Amino acid sequence: MTQRSAETRKRPPRNQRRRTQKRERLVARVTAEDKAVIAHAAILAGQSVGSFMVSEARKAALQTIETRERIVLNAEQSRRFVEALLAPPRPPTKRMIAAMRAYKATVKSDLD
């Protein structure tokens, strides 16, 4: 059995697939040159300009989210991070003690 046939069998028939309704709208002003480049790329991808724009913008958005929300550490940074987590806590500095007192004086909690 090929991979394609296995994937095809998992999907429901086209007439039974639920389509997400598109109710939101995005508008962008572009230069004539940008529009021509995007239209050319859409043709090469075999898509309409609108679907090309949405699919490529979504890919870029997901990539941006991925790179900005994940912290990647090299081996040395990872080692230092773990050591800091496992180390016993340091005693609070005078500034930290003052900050904790100021916090307790200004913030009321149900736990107090």
Position 55 in a domain: yes
Domain count, the chain: 1
Give how far the C-alpha of residue 59 lies from the chain's centroid of Cα atoms, to the nearest Å.
10
Position 31 in a domain: yes
Task: Dig out the tokens for 2 from the structure.
Answer: 């090929």
Its domain, for residue 35, covers 26-89
Give the chain's radius of gyration (CA, Å).
27
Position 109 in a domain: no
**Closest among 74, 57, 55 to 65, alpha carbons compared:** 57
Position 111 in a domain: no
pLDDT of res. 49? 96
Q: Which residues of the chain have pLDDT under 70?
A: 1-17, 112
Distance in angstroms (rounded) separating the CA atoms of residues 112 and 106: 12
Position 74 in a domain: yes
